[in-house]
Structure 1
Amino acid sequence: MGQQKISSEQLLIARFSPSRMAPYLAAAGSPREAVKLYRWNVEASAALYEALHIFEVVLRNAIHEQMTQWHQAQGRPGTWLTHPPDELTSRSKEDLAKARSRARDALAQKPRQPGAATSPSLTDGDIVAQLTLGFWRFMLASRYTHDLWHDAIRYAFPELRQQRLSDVEGPVVRLHWLRNRVAHLEPVFVRNLHLDLKDMKTVLGYICPRTQAWFASTRTQSIKDVASTLPRIRP
């Protein structure tokens, strides 16, 4: 029995799934334009992910450094990652426990170095690498960690002149939402990429202006380039 011939765009929409492509069809108006918009979304997500990669690593290291110093100054055992302070919420403690478990599993799967008598020990870096941006976002929520902000976390942002938590929390919340969209391969074409880039540069500037300058010099153009090629979409 013969098959009805369909266009390349219709075939791609079927392969990507009609439900996934529905927002693109609604915004673009035709299968051909929907595929163009989908391709643009892939390119935009790639540019954003590269920038978010740098942003997330710098943010988590800055907070981790200050939490480590605070924990040591308190004379507490272990580290704040292995012996979470009571000031953390139960949710944050659960996230840390899961991160430690994932880190141990990842370490156990690594091949032992030739000549090594024992397997490598779990480090704070191993645990930090397993924590999501959502964990760090909630570390900046005043309703959860108000005391820790004043005692430790605010020092991760030395260039934040008025030391208002909301000035950091706002952009990090927006970027956490963006990262989830990108990570789950969702549409980002309705976003203003210039504002997303501004949020990243703002927070990085609070942490370290020199790092912010390097970030801007390496990531700004790629995001501006992809933003400038956004296909026409319906209002």
Structure 2
Amino acid sequence: MTQQKISSEQLLIARFSSARMASYLAAAGSPREALRLYRWNVEASAVLYEALHIFEVVLRNAIHEQMARWHQAQGRPGSWLTNPPPQLTQRSKDDLARAQTRAHDALTQKHLRAGTAAPAPVTDGDIIAQLTLGFWRFMLATRYTHDLWRDAIRYAFPELRHQRLTDIERPVIRLHWLRNRIAHLEPVFTRDLNLDLKSMSTAIGYVCPRTQSWFAATRTQSIKDAISAFPLSGLPGPQQATSSP
């Protein structure tokens, strides 16, 4: 039986799946240009993920620090991560319980591999490492405006003018959406990546301007280079795209 000959571009599109490549083909107009766009999307996503790493670590540490201080000031035993305040939604409490279990399991596996008798106690840092960006995004939900935000979380953002929760919630929602698209290997070429970069810088700046300066010095150019390398002419591109959130 003679195998039907197909082009390299058609083969790659089949390997990546026609469903996944449909949006690239629709935007690019040909298999060759769709693959150029797909390659750009992979490379741009990697650069964005590096920047999101910094944003997420700064965000979660800032919120945790203030929640820990508030928890202690309230005279509550243990950690807010293992003894969460009643104001938290049940979903957030469940997220914390699952993160604690995963942290314990990870430490157990680590010590089994090392041949030690018992795992070390789970620390706050171990639990934080198991929490998703979605958890921290929902710590900034407007439902907390009159309790956790007012009493604790707003102090995580000393440079936030007027201390309006929505001013930090808005960029974090946008970046949570971006992070999920990258994590699920989805296209980012329809997004305004300059606005994504600005959202990261803004959120970090609300926490610490010096960290914001370091972020700008180490990450801004790589994202701008990715934007400028957009391979297709005749399309708005990621510097002009309008996407939501």
TM-score range, shorter chain: over 0.9
Separation of aligned partners in 2, 1:13 and 1:145: 48
Following superposition, the deviation at residue 225 of structure 1 comes to 0.4
- Would the aligned equivalents of 2:181 and 2:188 in 1 still touch at CA under 8 Å? yes
Can you list the C-alpha shifts for 1:33-92, whole angstroms capped at 9, x where unaligned? 000000000001000000000100110000000000000000001010010000111111
How big is the alpha-carbon RMSD for the aligned residues of Structure 1 and Structure 2?
Answer: 1.5
Q: Summarize the alignment of residues 19-168 of structure 1 with structure 2, pairs less than 5 Å apart.
A: 19-111=19-111, 118-144=118-144, 146-168=146-168
Q: Secondary structure at the match of 2:213?
A: helix
Separation of aligned partners in 1, 2:115 and 2:93: 37
Match of 1:174 in 2: 174
Separation of aligned partners in 2, 1:99 and 1:46: 26
Structure 1: unaligned runs, 5 residues or longer:
none
- Would the aligned equivalents of 1:67 and 1:152 in 2 still touch at CA under 8 Å? yes
- TM-score, structure 1 as length reference: 0.96
Which of structures 1 and 2 has the larger relative contact order (alpha carbons within 8 angstroms, sep 6+)? 1
Match of 2:204 in 1: 204
Separation of aligned partners in 1, 2:115 and 2:109: 17
Following superposition, the deviation at residue 115 of structure 1 comes to 9.4
Can you list the C-alpha shifts for 1:119-177, whole angstroms capped at 9, x where unaligned? 21100000000000000000000124641000000000001121000000000000000
Q: Decide whether aligned partners of structure 1 residues 149 and 228 sit closer, same or farther in structure 2, where only a CA change above 3 A counts.
A: same
Q: Secondary structure at the match of 2:161?
A: coil
Following superposition, the deviation at residue 116 of structure 1 comes to 6.0
Can you list the C-alpha shifts for 1:188-232, whole angstroms capped at 9, x where unaligned? 001111110000000000000000100110000110001001122
Following superposition, the deviation at residue 5 of structure 1 comes to 1.2
Q: Secondary structure at the match of 1:130?
A: coil
**Pair 1:3-2:3 in alignment:** yes
Following superposition, the deviation at residue 113 of structure 1 comes to 9.2
Following superposition, the deviation at residue 117 of structure 1 comes to 5.8
Structure 2: unaligned runs, 5 residues or longer:
237-245
- TM-score, structure 2 as length reference: 0.92
